[in-house]
Amino acid sequence: MRVFVTGGAGFIGSHLVEALVEEGHEVVALDNFFLGRRENLAPFLREVELVEGSVMDAKLLHKLTKNVDVIFHQAAASSSPMFLKRLEEPVSVNVIGFIRLLEAARENGVKRVVHASTSSIYGNNPVPWREDMKVEPPNFYAASKLACEHLGRLYSQEYGLETVALRYMSVYGPRERSKGEYANLVSQFLWWMREGKRPVVWGDGTQTRDLVYVKDVVKANLLAAKAKKISGEVINVGTGKETSLNELVEILNEMLGTNLKPKYVKIPVKNYIFRQRADLRKAEKLLGYRPSYSLREGIREILEHG
């Protein structure tokens, strides 16, 4: 199978490319190297056609999606803080870039587009979060991804292009260094604590996150590329478990052999999400997806592989 991965040198994208190469697929990867890094693909770079470019480049997208069977769309302005300094650029990348990708896919007869969405769309809905809940995006990032979900569904209905949106919970794992301040809390806490610094926790640390290891997210993408009768669907990807930030710090202290207390600070943003947990029944039914990694197993992988 010939596949195209946007954001292919990024955190999630590089793990996805690695899995696709291991499965023997022909992989074309696109990245603008804003957060992605070539070294993320270094061990298997010779087996990948890596192109530097943007999802805003319609001509390039049309060229790269020729003879492609499945597209995995990971490229995005993927964190709400990116939208605070400027708004038009990240919204354009997420929404207009996605439209241009869908157009290229439609024109070139691509069979399916699997695209990354976000659990931020749920806002402060009661947990566990179900895909059929009424959603109220709490920030511009979430609003842009919800727009993409609707666009994907409409392309499926109007043009017959198969699309599947995966609502990621809080994804963590190796290769997040290049994301810096945009990295998951697991990695940020780990980096601080390995240097003997107290982890900075917003609020009182009782807020929870559904922390899903990156290889489980990759598994969900691979399943979504092959599953039948899921066009136009939106599907949660997580663990179905909650971990408070205080619990996360305790686990990291245990695994690092440290005894660092959180540094609690006032929550600096509006519409902060206090609880996060996915209902995975739809993912299990439509994809056969079940997470494989516990939080401790995932953290151990970061400690071993960076």
Average pLDDT over residues 91-111: 97
Q: Is the pLDDT of residue 264 over 90?
A: yes
Cβ atoms within 10 Å of 121's Cβ, excluding its own: 24
Residue 28 lies in a domain: yes
Q: Is the pLDDT of residue 85 over 90?
A: no
Q: What is the pLDDT of residue 78?
A: 67
Q: Which residues pair with 70 in a beta bridge?
A: 3, 112
Beta-strand relationship, 70-73 and 112-118: parallel
Domain that holds residue 92: 2-169+213-238+278-292
Q: What is the pLDDT of residue 159?
A: 97
Residue 130 lies in a domain: yes
Q: What is the pLDDT of residue 87?
A: 82
First to last CA, the chain: 30
CB within 8 Å of 67: residues ≥ 6 apart: 2, 108
Active-site annotation holder among 141, 213, 289, 293: 141
Average pLDDT over residues 105-128: 97
33: which 2 tokens? 């190297």
Residue type, 218: V
Answer yes or no: 141 catalytic. yes
Token pair 């996915």 is found at 278
Residue 256 lies in a domain: no
Residue 255 lies in a domain: no
Residue 207 lies in a domain: no
Residue 306 lies in a domain: no
Residue 245 lies in a domain: no
Cβ atoms within 10 Å of 263's Cβ, excluding its own: 11
Average pLDDT over residues 234-260: 98
Q: How confident is the model at residue 41 (pLDDT cuts 50, 70, 90)?
A: very high
Residue 59 belongs to domain with CATH number: 3.40.50.720
Distance between CA atoms of residues 58 and 149, nearest Å: 20
Q: What is the pLDDT of residue 167?
A: 99
Q: How confident is the model at residue 173 (pLDDT cuts 50, 70, 90)?
A: very high
The count of structural domains within the chain is 1
CB within 8 Å of 33: residues ≥ 6 apart: 9, 52
Q: What is the pLDDT of residues 130-165, one digit of tens each?
A: 999 999 899 999 999 999 999 999 999 999 999 999
Average pLDDT over residues 160-178: 95
Beta-strand relationship, 70-73 and 2-6: parallel
Distance between CA atoms of residues 39 and 52, nearest Å: 14
Does the pTM of the predicted model rise above 0.85?
yes
Residue 202 lies in a domain: no
Q: Is 26 exposed, middle or buried (0-12, 13-18, 19+ CB in 10 A)?
A: middle
